Amino acid sequence: MSQDFRSLLRGLSEVRTRQAAAAAPDPSTELRTLRTAIRRRRLARTSATVAAAAAVLVVGAVAVQGLQRPEPVPPAPPVTSTSTPSATPSSTPSAPATTTPTPIETPASPASPTAAGLLPSALPVTEEVLAGTDDDWIIAGYMAFIEDRDELATAEYLVSPHGDFYRLPVSSLLVDWLPGTSSALLVDQAAVPALTDVHLADLATGHTRATFSAPDGQQITLAALTADGAGVLLAYSDLASTRVERLVRLDLTGHVLAEYPGYPTRRDRPGVLSPDRSTLLLEDTRRFGALNANDFAPVALTGEWGTDCQVTGWLDAHSWVGVRCASRPTDEALSVGSAAVLGEGPAGAGPRENLGLQHDPAGRYLVAAMRSHGRLLVVRYGASGTTFEELSGVDGRATPLDLPDLGQVAVTVNDHVLLSGTGVNGSSTGIIWLDPVTGERRDLLTLVDGSGVYAGLAYPAPPSGRPLGGAFWSTD
Amino acid sequence: MAGWEQLLEEVVRTRRSALVGYAHLFALERADAEDLVQEALVRTFARRRSFPDAIAAEAYVRAAIRTSFLDRARKAKVLAGRSHLLADDDARSADEAAVAGVDVAAALAALSPQQRACTVLRFFDDLPVRDVAAELRLSEGSVKRYLSEGVTTLRRILGDAASWPSEGDGPTVPVMVVRRSVR
C-alpha cells in the first residue's frame, strides 16, 4: 500500500526529530555557546559599521602620526608634470559656499551611566591635559555590551603613551583630532553609511562649535582638520556613485577658501592625506596626482604611475609614497614634490626608488616604513598577519624581525608602533605599544571578553591603505 | 535577561529537536543538520530583529536553515569545481539508493542539493512553486525543473511505495513564509 509522499516526508522528519531529542546536548551548555556566538556576531556587526564610517572618511581613525606637526604650509607654486591633475584649482572661488555651518553650543551626550562599571576607569579630560598632548597620544574608541540589558555602551578615551586614560565627553564617532589642541571632528553614528554632516567639537567640553553639511544629494567622504587647525578639508561625493563632486577647504565659519573640481575615484577613496596634512594624493581613476592641501595647487609627482598602480600609503610626512604596480614585481617608493633623499647611504637619492621588496607571496602589502633605533624597517600587512622587516639597502634584502604577530599596525611613532591587537578569531584585543627592535611591549588598553561584558575596539583601526607616519629620513 | 535571549532559550528548549529533524531533510548527516540549526539560530538572533513570539522566531530559523543549506551547497559546488578531492552529494549512485526500497532518506540522498531543497519546500512545507522560487532565490523555471527531475528520481527509487499529489494541489497546511531582507 502506498503512502502519500508528503506523509512519508513528515514521518521521516518525525523520526529524526525523536532521534535528535534522544541525543540532544545539555540545553544550558548549548545556549551558552549560542549566546556567545550571537553576541560576537552582533558586536562584529556593530564594529564593522563603525569601522565602515571611519573608512569612508579617509582620515579615519584618530591615531596620531609620528611626526612633528609642521607650521602651516605656504602655498606651493604649481609645478608642471605629466602626472599632475589637469584641473585648475581655484583659491578664490566665485561660487558661494554651499556649506552651512551652524555654530551651536550643545553638549554632546555622555555615554550611558549604566556602562560606567564596564568601561575602563578614567580621569576626566581637561583643557590643560589636551594642550599638553603630542604625537605620542592616541584616542581610542571602546564599545561594550551590557549583557543584562542588551545595551551597547560606547566611550572615547584619550590615552597617554604610558596607558593613562582620560574620558572624553563625546559620544559621536570621532574622525579627526589635532594633538596639542581640543579641536576634533565628529560624525553621528546614526548617519552611517551616508555621512552628510561633520561636527567640529571641543574635546574638553564636548560642545559642538559648528556643523558642516554636504550639499543636497551628496555625502562627505573625506573630513580633516587643516594643519593649522583653522579650517577643515572636505570632499563631497555623489550619493549614488564613487565620484567626488568637489574638494573644499573651509574656514571655521564655513567660508570656502579653496576648492577643486570633481573627479572619479578608485576604491571609493577621494584621496590620501599626508600625515602632516600638507598634501593630498588623489585617487583619481584617470591619473595619479597630488595637491597642496592648503590651496589645491598641483604638486609634482616624479616617476611613472600607471593605472595598474595602487598607493599603499605615505611612507613619511609628505615626501614619499609607497606604491605597488601590477606590472612590476616589487614595491616602490615614489617622490612627491621636490626631490628628496630616501633612507640613508645605499638608498641613495633620486626621484623614484625601488625598495626592492618582492611582492609577498602571502599577499601582504607595504603599509609603513620607519626608522627605529637607526634601523630602517618596513611593515607589511595582509590576511596572513603583520611582519616587520629590516631593509639593508635597496638591493632587495629584507630580513624579517623575530616578533610575534600581535595585530595590525595602526600608527608608527618615532621608534615604536601602536598596534590594534588581534585575537585568534580575528577579534580586537586592545591597543599594544611595541618597539619592534627591542621587542618591548606595553598593553595600553586590554579588552574584556568574559562574563557579562563583550567589548570591542573601534579605533585605532585603520582602513586599508590608510597613511601611516614613517621615519624615512628625507630632506627637501 | 534580554528579550532576544528569552526567545532564544524558548526556541532551543522547546523546538530544537524539531528544527534538527527539519534540517535533516536537507542535510544527509545529523551532525550537518545540527550545524545548520546552530548557524541558523546565530543568523536569526545576531540581527536586532523583534519577533512577536517563539513561533515567528522559529519560522525565521527554518528559513535560515534553508538559506544556509543552499549557501553551503553552492560553496561545495564551487570547491568541487576546483578540486576532485571533494565529493558532492550528487556522487551518490542511483543504484545505491534504489536498494533502499521505501527508505525515503536514501531516496532524498539521491537528489542534488537543489532538487532536495525544492522537494522539501514543495512537499514538506507545502509551498507553491512561486514561493519556493522566492525562498531559494531561484527562478520559477529552475524550481520546476528541479522538482521534475527530483520527482522522477524519487518515483524511480520509491516505486509504488509512494503516491504523488496531482499537479494542482496547493498547500495543505498554513505556513509562515518569512521574507528575508537583502544581505
- Are A21 and B17 inside 8 Å of each other by CB? yes
Confidence category of residue A150, pLDDT binned at 50, 70, 90: low
Closest to B40 (Cα-Cα) out of B52, B58, B13, B17: B58
- Are B8 and A12 inside 8 Å of each other by CB? no
- CB neighbour list of residue A100: distance below 8 Å, 6 or more residues apart: A213, A254
Q: Is the alpha carbon torsion for B97, B103, B105, B111 positive or negative?
A: positive
Q: Burial code of A172-203, b = ≥16 C-beta within 10 A, e = fewer?
A: bbbbbbbbbbbbbbbbeeebbeebbbbbbbbb
Nearest to A34 among B8, B25, B154 (CB): B8
Q: What cell numbers appear for B44 in the block?
A: 536569526
Place of cell 509522499: A5
Q: Which residue has the higher pLDDT, B93 or B57?
A: B57
Helix (H) or strand (E) holding B7: helix B3-26
Q: Residue B28 is which amino acid? A: L
What's the alpha-carbon Rg for chain B, to the nearest Å?
17
Q: What cell numbers appear for A388 in the block?
A: 616587520
Confidence category of residue A139, pLDDT binned at 50, 70, 90: confident
Query: How many angstroms from the chain centroid is the CA of residue A369?
Result: 17
Q: What cell numbers appear for B88 in the block?
A: 558532492
CA distance linking residue A283 with residue A463, whole number of Å: 15
- Are A9 and B25 inside 8 Å of each other by CB? yes
Residue B155 at interface with chain A, using a CB cutoff of 8 Å:
no
Residue B60 at interface with chain A, using a CB cutoff of 8 Å:
no
Distance from CA of A58 to the nearest CA of B (A): 26
What are B154-169's pLDDT values in tens digits? 888 887 777 877 544 4
What are A417-441's pLDDT values in tens digits? 888 777 655 556 777 889 999 999 9
Q: What is the pLDDT of residue A53?
A: 39
- Are A42 and B46 inside 8 Å of each other by CB? yes
Confidence category of residue A298, pLDDT binned at 50, 70, 90: confident
Place of cell 535528535: A20
Q: What pTM was estimated for this model as a whole? A: 0.55
Least confident of A166-175, A257-266, A396-405, A463-472: A463-472
| DSSP assigned state of A155 | E
Q: Burial code of B16-44, b = ≥16 C-beta within 10 A, e = fewer?
A: bbbbbbbbbbbbbebeebbebbbbbbbbb
Q: What cell numbers appear for A150 in the block?
A: 542588551
Q: Is pLDDT above 70 for A379?
A: yes
Q: Is pLDDT above 80 for B71?
A: no
Q: Is pLDDT above 50 for A326?
A: yes
Distance from CA of A29 to the nearest CA of B (A): 11
CA distance linking residue A391 with residue A311, whole number of Å: 20
Q: Is pLDDT above 60 for A343?
A: no
Nearest to A2 among B9, B47, B163 (CB): B163
- Are B22 and A41 inside 8 Å of each other by CB? no
Least confident of A263-267, A399-403, A456-460, B23-27: A456-460
Side-chain half-sphere exposure of A356, counting CA atoms within 13 A? 13
DSSP reduced 3-state for B173? coil
Q: Is pLDDT above 60 for A10?
A: yes
CA distance linking residue A70 with residue B39, whole number of Å: 53
| DSSP assigned state of B69 | H
Q: Which residue has the higher pLDDT, B166 or B86?
A: B166
- Are A17 and B47 inside 8 Å of each other by CB? no
CA distance linking residue A370 with residue A387, whole number of Å: 13
Q: What cell numbers appear for A130 in the block?
A: 589636551
Least confident of A280-289, A438-447, B64-73: A280-289
Chosen from B15, B20, B25, B160 to mutate, greatest number of chain A CBs within 10 A? B20
Report, as an integer, the average pLDDT of A67-82. 28
Closest to A275 (Cα-Cα) out of A476, A48, A73: A73
Q: Is pLDDT above 80 for B106?
A: yes
- Are A150 and B105 inside 8 Å of each other by CB? no
Q: Residue A16: closest CA among chain B residues belongs to which residue?
A: B21
Chosen from A7, A10, A17, A40 to mutate, greatest number of chain B CBs within 10 A? A17
Confidence category of residue A396, pLDDT binned at 50, 70, 90: low
Burial of A106 (0-12, 13-18, 19+ CB in 10 A): exposed
Query: How many angstroms from the chain centroid is the CA of residue A254?
Result: 25
What are B29-69's pLDDT values in tens digits? 888 899 899 989 988 988 777 788 888 889 899 988 988 88
CA distance linking residue A269 with residue A242, whole number of Å: 8
Contact of B37 with B61, CB cutoff 8 Å = yes
CA distance linking residue B112 with residue A332, whole number of Å: 50
Nearest to A24 among B16, B162, B172 (CB): B16
Chain A contact set for B21 (CB, 8 A)? 13-20
Place of cell 585617487: A283
Q: What cell numbers appear for A27 in the block?
A: 540545553
Beta-carbon count within 10 A of A67 CB = 20
Least confident of A108-122, A337-351, B111-125: A337-351
Query: How many angstroms from the chain centroid is the CA of residue A398?
Result: 27
Contact of B147 with B129, CB cutoff 8 Å = yes
User: Cα dist. B67→A25, A476, B179 in Å?
Assistant: 24, 59, 12
- Are B45 and A45 inside 8 Å of each other by CB? no
Query: Residue A409 forms beta bridges with which residues?
Result: A419
CA distance linking residue A347 with residue A359, whole number of Å: 19
Helix (H) or strand (E) holding A274: none
Report, as an integer, the average pLDDT of A39-45. 67
Q: What is the pLDDT of residue B110?
A: 85
CA distance linking residue A192 with residue A238, whole number of Å: 15
Least confident of A296-305, A344-353, B100-109: A344-353
What's the alpha-carbon Rg for chain A, to the nearest Å?
25
Contact of A282 with A288, CB cutoff 8 Å = yes
Distance from CA of B9 to the nearest CA of A (A): 7
**Proportion of chain A above pLDDT 90, given as a percent:** 14
Q: What cell numbers appear for B61 in the block?
A: 530559523
- Give the highest mean pLDDT range of A386-400, A414-428, A455-469, B3-17: B3-17
| Average pLDDT score over chain B | 73
Confidence category of residue B19, pLDDT binned at 50, 70, 90: very high
